[in-house]
């Protein structure tokens, strides 16, 4: 089903903590959505909201002008798009695959080359904002691909996001996402160090937060994570396991390019230590526990 004029038929593969609310926002925007996921209760929930379901990625593609994937990592995207009964087997010429997963940029480029052999277009379009922004449709989307394909799909992406920016050719979206994940990880680490220091010194961390948030140290990360840390709420908006995966992609890419990233490497080891202790499915804000354990103090109101 090639893209021509206005896009109305969307396929969505991957209905996890991010994919489910993103697909709901497409339905709310009036798109016809065909979904594929593993969780029957989620499929039932989306069916009640107006979605159809399909039995395979190929079947999703056969019913869609644009197929969106939102999957854990590079191997899953490769398999869903290019594997047996994959998207490529059902996609029409001039249709579009938008991979909104966070994967290695080199894999995005390889998948795009394979799709091009079947005259299928691709954008890599990872997101930032976590589950809350996926729910309210205010994600930030970083896109790589051809300008004309981006322009055609802009309305689709805008149904899930408040910021949609084309950052370059295919792979540039994931390079931008890797940069984003570096900044978020190091911000969380810096915030954790600061609040643990204040707590150990006997200064109320909530007052420290209020004092610094309006100055140069203020950030979206600080506002999103400091209150949750002080309330000891570590249920995942974004899991440590997923941030570890992203930082592994960061370091793989940096090694390919010859770019040393000492701070990123250090934070990745901290996340890995927490995963080893059983906190892999906790929110990445629980990085504070690493510092709390060293200082023998807890950051709380």
Which residue, chain included where needed, has tokens 């894999």? 107
Q: What DSSP element (H or E) covers 43?
A: helix 40-48
Q: 235: number of CA atoms within 13 Å, CB side? A: 4
Rounded Cα distance, 10 and 8, in Å: 6
Rounded Cα distance, 211 and 261, in Å: 31
Alpha helices by DSSP H, the chain: 19-28, 40-48, 57-62, 74-82, 87-90, 105-116, 130-136, 147-158, 172-200, 205-212, 220-230, 240-257, 262-276, 288-295
Please enumerate in sequence order all residues whose Cβ is within 8 A of that of 270, keeping only pairs 6 or more positions apart, or say none: 189, 287, 290
Rounded Cα distance, 117 and 121, in Å: 10
Distances (CA, A) of 194 to 65, 147, 210, 253: 49, 43, 13, 30
- Rounded to an integer, what is the distance from CA 156 to the centroid of its chain? 17
Rounded Cα distance, 31 and 113, in Å: 28
**Which of these is catalytic: 24, 58, 133, 177?**
177
User: What interhelical angle do 240-257 and 262-276 show, nearest 10?
Assistant: 150
Active site residue 177: yes
Coil, helix or strand for 166?
Answer: strand
The tokens describing 266, both together, are: 């250090």
Length of the chain: 301
> Which amino acids are annotated catalytic?
177
């Amino acid at each position: 089903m090639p893209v021509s004029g206005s896009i109305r038929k969307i396929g969505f593969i991957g209905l996890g903590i991010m994919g489910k609310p993103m697909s709901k926002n497409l339905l709310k925007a009036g798109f016809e959505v065909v979904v594929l996921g593993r969780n029957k209760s989620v499929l039932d929930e989306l069916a009640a909201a107006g979605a159809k379901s399909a039995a395979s990625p190929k079947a999703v593609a056969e019913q869609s002008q644009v197929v969106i994937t939102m999957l854990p990592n590079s191997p899953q995207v490769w398999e869903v798009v290019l594997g047996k009964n994959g998207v490529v087997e059902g996609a029409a010429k001039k249709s579009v695959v938008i991979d909104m997963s966070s994967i290695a940029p080199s894999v995005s480029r390889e998948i795009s080359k394979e799709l091009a052999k079947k005259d299928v277009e691709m954008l890599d379009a990872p997101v930032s904002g976590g589950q809350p922004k996926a729910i309210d449709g205010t994600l930030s989307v970083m896109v790589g691909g051809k300008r004309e394909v981006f322009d055609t799909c802009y309305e689709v992406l805008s149904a899930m996001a408040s910021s949609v920016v084309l950052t370059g050719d295919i792979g540039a979206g994931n390079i931008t996402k890797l940069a984003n994940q570096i900044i978020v990880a190091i911000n969380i680490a810096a915030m954790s160090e600061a609040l643990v220091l204040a707590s150990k010194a006997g200064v109320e961390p909530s007052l420290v937060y209020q004092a610094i948030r309006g100055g140069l140290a203020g950030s979206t990360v600080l506002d999103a994570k400091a209150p949750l840390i002080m309330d000891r709420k570590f249920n995942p908006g974004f899991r440590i396991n997923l941030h570890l995966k992203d930082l592994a992609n960061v370091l793989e890419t940096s090694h390919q390019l010859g770019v040393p990233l000492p701070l990123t490497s250090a934070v990745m080891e901290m996340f890995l230590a927490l995963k080893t202790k059983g906190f892999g499915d906790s929110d990445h804000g629980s990085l504070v526990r690493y510092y709390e354990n060293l200082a023998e103090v807890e950051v709380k109101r």
